[in-house]
Each structure stands twice: as C-alpha cells, then as structure tokens.
Amino acid sequence: MSAIKEPSFRESVDMMFNRAVALMELEPGLEEKIRVVNATYTVRFGVRLRGKIETFTGYRSVHSEHMEPVKGGIRFSMGVNQDEVEALGALMTYKCALVEAPFGGSKGGLRIDPRKYNEKEMETITRRFAYELIKRDLINPSQNVPAPDMGTGQREMAWIADQYARMNTTDINARACVTGKPPHAGGIAGRVEATGRGVQYALREFFRHPKDKAAAGLTDTLGGKRIVVQGLGNVGYHAAKFLQEEDGAKITGIIERDGSLYNENGLDVEAVYQHIGEHGGVKGFAGADYAEDGSKLLEAECDILIPAALESVINLNNADRIKAPLIIEAANGPVTAGADEILRDKGTIIIPDMYANAGGVTVSYFEWVKNLSHIRFGRMQRRQEETRHQLLVNELERLDAFMGEKWSMSPDFKDKYLRGADELELVRSGLDDTMRIAYQSISEVWNSRDDVPDLRTAAFIVAISRVAKAYTAKGL
Ligand code: NAD
C-alpha cells in the first residue's frame, strides 16, 4: 500500500486542468471562471416502497453554461456523491468542446443500488427524481439535457422523457429533454452502442497516426492486438465486441465485479456477455482462467488496456505494475492524477476519457437534433440518392453488356452502391468523422509542442481554448 494520499476524483480533474492551463495564455481570471462548477443542486426526496418511506439523495451539477443546453448523464449508483458529479460535470464541459457538440457540461446522479428494486419501484423512484429536476428546469430541452450513464439506460431515459412530457404538455420539443431514449420513444439508431463504438473509432484513428503508435511501441493495425477490458457493461461490451468482430483484435482478458477471465488465445465476448446475463457474473465461464481478485488482471501483459467500468481503478497502488503500453480510458476518470504521472514517466500512452468515451455524447447530440427537427435522419434523401445511383448503375450495366468478357462490374458493387444510407449508417458516419477530427486536433497539439507531455494535456488545451473562446465571444 502506498502511503501517499490519493487526490479525490474532483481534485484529479482539477490537477489535470491546471497542468493544461499552465501551458496556455488565458486572459487573467478566465481560467478560474472555466474551472469552477457553476452550481450543484442536491435533492432529497422520499418514496413509499414496500410499506415504508425511503429517502433518496440525488444531484444535478452544472459545470459550465458557456453553451446551452448543458449536457451530461445521470448515474444510479451507491458511489454517487457531490464531488463525483462535479468532476464528471467538468469533464462533460471539456468533452463536448472537444467533439464540437454545442453544449455546456453537466452531470447528475442518484445514490441508489438499482439491483435492490424491481422495475415498478425503479420507475417510481426515477420519475420522482426527474420531477424534482424538471420543476427546477434542471431537465429541459433548451437548458439541461441528461443521458444514460452507469446504472441507467434506455428504460430510465424513457421514463424521464415521459415525466417531462406530462409536466410540459404544450412543449412541442419535449422529447429533446433527454437523450439515450429507446427508438420507439424518440431515440436514435446507434445510441446504445455509441460510446463503445466511439472507443473503437478512437483506436482506429490512433493506429492511423504512425508517430503516436510508435510512441506506444505498437506497430501495424488493431488486428491481433491483445486487449484487456474492465467492465462488460454498455461501453465495455460494445467496444470489446466491435474490436473483436470487426478489427480482429484479441480480447485476452475481461474483468467484472465478481472476478476476471483470461485466455491468451482470446475470449468470445458475446459468449461471456451472455454468461454474465444468465449467471450474474463471469464465474463459471468455460474455456478461460478465472480469478476472484479481478483487478489483478489490470496488470496483465497486453497491448491495450480498456478500463470501462468506474473511476480511480488505476491509482498510486497499482500504476507502476501496469504493463499495457496503451490505455484507452473508456470509463470516466479510471486513472488518478498520481497514477497518470507514474504512467507518463514509464512511457505509457493514455488516450484520455474526455476524448475516448465522447461517442455517447456525440450521438446524443445527433438524437437531440433529430428530436428538435422532428424527422429521422435520411428520410428525405435516401430514395432520391438511390434513384441517382440507379442512373449510374444503368450506364455501367450497358457498358458491362458492351464489353463482354473484357470487363464486368464487381459482384457486390451494384447492391452496395444502390443502397441509400439509413439512420444507423448516417449516425456511424457522423460519429466516425467526429472521432477522427477530434483525435487529429489533439494529436496535432501533442506532436507540435515540446511542452505538451501527453494526449490528456493536449485534449485539455484544445477543449479549454474552445470554452475560453465561447466565453470571450459572449463578452464575459
Ligand atoms: P454500465 O453500468 O452499463 O457498465 C459498467 C460495468 O462495469 C458493469 O458490467 C459492471 O458490472 C462493471 N463493474 C462495476 N464495478 C466493477 C468493478 N469493480 N470491477 C469490474 N467491473 C465492474 O455502465 P456504462 O454505461 O458502461 O459506463 C461505464 C463507464 O463509462 C462509466 O465510467 C461511465 O461514466 C462511462 N461512460 C458511459 C457512457 C455511456 O454512454 N453509457 C458515456 C460516456 C462515459
């Protein structure tokens, strides 16, 4: 055990922020304005459950309103506290700036263990929490738009959207009050997979940058790379599944609440996911080594480590034993500020949370735009695009007939080319574009300045300078 005191999550975020602003030339006082949390609302409410009243504590923190609405998930977990939501709200400000989603930063949470309650009870509690926030405009399509986070998903977002609609019967944009809704309740295709998909796109873009790859001592492509994932929830499952199925990466380790699984030849992510669904944990999964102390596997020999569960899992106690040359922070704040320094000194490359898990908020942005425009993406263009493509295919078919044996269309060209993009394809395309451009902006700062030590500092610099410009333009 290390004797050095670990900073809190919020202190960690502040330390990382301070390191970046020390390298920037901001107008005096602006730095402090950007750093501070604008407001945090704490709510305590009672709900009658199983014949007795239970009191719950929840938060909604607004870090920065340089752009509105502010955006950030709602987390249901026993670990929720003011410090945590404030740190997460600050990260949202920088994350949105980095991926150019036009939002300020916010975050919410309810201190609850969702596994203790049945669906009806969860609905009552969620609606009651939402009611408290809605009546104070802390959920509102033009002011504050939550999304899912740890312990919440489509189901909770649908309840929140419905609660808002009941309380604002004439708001035509009511559905835009929250994102991450199910498709039949105003959601968007590809939102559930978005954060994990974004992790995949982030890694693909990293591997397109030879210098960055070399800094981590990695070569070639993602194919065959050994990956350890912590947390096979929404983010971890999708990231691991796509990296395995589409990029040929080997998921050698999976860490869950009840322990870890390891197989140097790779685990079948879908099979492990199904096993967790059926048995409530990874224990008993055939064809892998199981260890009860799962966190030990964070220290395994691998090419890429993906912490996708919770914060502060890589800390002063284990940082020096982490062997992965590349860590991509799918979770928020998995590496503490102290560990960050140890890893930097060791030469470990970290793709920071602010960028790595921004896929969720990016697709949330698309969902919000869809709700405000009241039409699904692609509805106007798709068939027109197909008709125009048909013209070209007709010409190629004439050419095909004319050329005889000498030339013919590739077998699947016609089908692929004729099909206009549906909403899911458009969402993935928009997400891919966003993740590529954001990485390029960070990498450019990292590689062009000798005083910028890592991708995290570069990401903070890019994000803070955009927030600073927004404040300055407003005439603060
Ligand atoms: P989730 O609740 O769907 O999944 C979390 C997973 O981690 C679960 O499978 C859980 O069993 C596992 N887990 C919990 N404690 C663990 C432990 N001690 N060791 C190993 N595994 C453990 O949550 P999620 O939505 O996937 O979020 C995960 C992280 O990603 C969080 O930090 C969250 O803030 C961040 N994030 C999520 C989104 C999103 O769109 N869902 C977006 C951005 C960031």
Give tens-digit pLDDT for 352-405. Answer: 999 999 999 999 999 999 999 999 999 999 999 999 999 999 999 999 999 988
Q: Supply the mean pLDDT for the chain.
A: 95
Q: Is the pLDDT of residue 4 over 80?
A: no
| Helix axes of 9-21 and 455-474: crossing angle, nearest 10 degrees | 80
pTM of the model: 0.94
> Does residue 102 have a cis bond before it (omega within 30 degrees)?
no
241 is catalytic: no
> What pLDDT, on the 0 to 100 scale, is given for residue 474?
84
Q: Which of 342, 284, 298 is nearest to 6 (CA)?
A: 342
Q: For residue 443, how many C-alpha atoms fall within 13 Å in the half-sphere facing its CB? A: 20
Q: Is the CB of 89 under 6 A from ligand 1?
A: no
Q: Residue 468: pLDDT band by 50, 70, 90 thresholds?
A: very high
Q: Is the pLDDT of residue 3 over 70?
A: no
Q: Is the pLDDT of residue 143 over 90?
A: yes
- Closest ligand 1 atom, CA of 235? 26
Q: Is the CB of 272 under 6 A from ligand 1?
A: no
Q: Is the CB of 255 under 6 A from ligand 1?
A: yes
Q: Is the pLDDT of residue 2 over 70?
A: no
Give tens-digit pLDDT for 228-249. Answer: 999 999 999 999 999 999 999 9
Q: Which one from 71, 107, 241, 250 is the annotated catalytic residue?
A: 107
Which amino acid residue places its CA nearest to atom 9 of ligand 1? Answer: 233
> What pLDDT, on the 0 to 100 scale, is given for residue 10?
87
Q: All domains of the chain, ordered by start, with CATH?
A: 9-193+455-473 (3.40.50.10860), 217-347 (3.40.50.720)
What is the CA 289 to chain-centroid distance, rounded? Answer: 29
Distance 207 CA to ligand 1 centre (A): 25
For residues 191-218, give the mean pLDDT: 97
Q: Is the CB of 229 under 6 A from ligand 1?
A: no
Alpha-carbon torsion 107, 111, 117, 121, what sign? Answer: negative
Q: Is the pLDDT of residue 79 over 50?
A: yes
Q: Candidates 94, 201, 310: which one to mutate for ligand 1, based on the most atoms within 8 Å of Cβ?
A: 310
Q: Is the CB of 77 under 6 A from ligand 1?
A: no
Q: Do 367 and 180 meet the contact criterion of CB atoms below 8 Å apart?
A: yes
What is the CA 438 to chain-centroid distance, rounded? Answer: 14
